[in-house]
Amino acid sequence: MTTGPAGQTTKIKLRYFAWVRERVGKAEEEIEAPADIATIAELMAWLSGRGEQYAYAFENPKVIRAAIDRNHVRAEARIEGAGEIAFFPPMTGG
């Protein structure tokens, strides 16, 4: 995540898995988000406003899990300094 030239946006690398990936329509992307987005929950809310597909993917943010730099985090986790943020449904491995 790097802050944009005027300090108003930050570049974030995002990855999506399983049905979050299918709904968003891509596996990964780099976005420019407003610099005042501080947490995973705020990022999900902001992503929801980016269009129909995002609104569908994040319609129930309580069921979406997130990871920052390959570590599970909670919705209230701060995203500052994140290299890669991932969103996915509850895991069903094993």
Partner 1 sequence: MSAPRVGGDPVPAIIRLQHEPIAIAAEVEKLVGVRKDVGAVVTFTGICRADEDGVPIAALNLEHYPDMAEAEIARHVEEACARWPLIGALVIHRYGRIEPGEDIVLVATASSHRQAAFAAAEFLMDYLKTRAPFWKQVESADGAAWVQAKSADDTAAERWSAPPPPQRDAAK
Question: Closest CB to partner 1 among 2 and 71?
Answer: 71
Residues in contact with 60: Cβ distance below 8 Å, sequence separation at least 6, in sequence order: none
Question: Closest CB to partner 1 among 26 and 72?
Answer: 72
State both tokens at 22. 């299918």
Query: Which residue ranges make up the site for partner 1 (CB under 8 A)?
Result: 15, 17-19, 21, 67, 70-72, 86, 88-94
State the CB neighbour count (10 A cutoff) for residue 14. 19
17 and 93 Cβ atoms separated by less than 8 Å: no
**What's the closest the beta carbon of residue 26 comes to partner 1, in angstroms?**
14
**What's the closest the beta carbon of residue 15 comes to partner 1, in angstroms?**
7
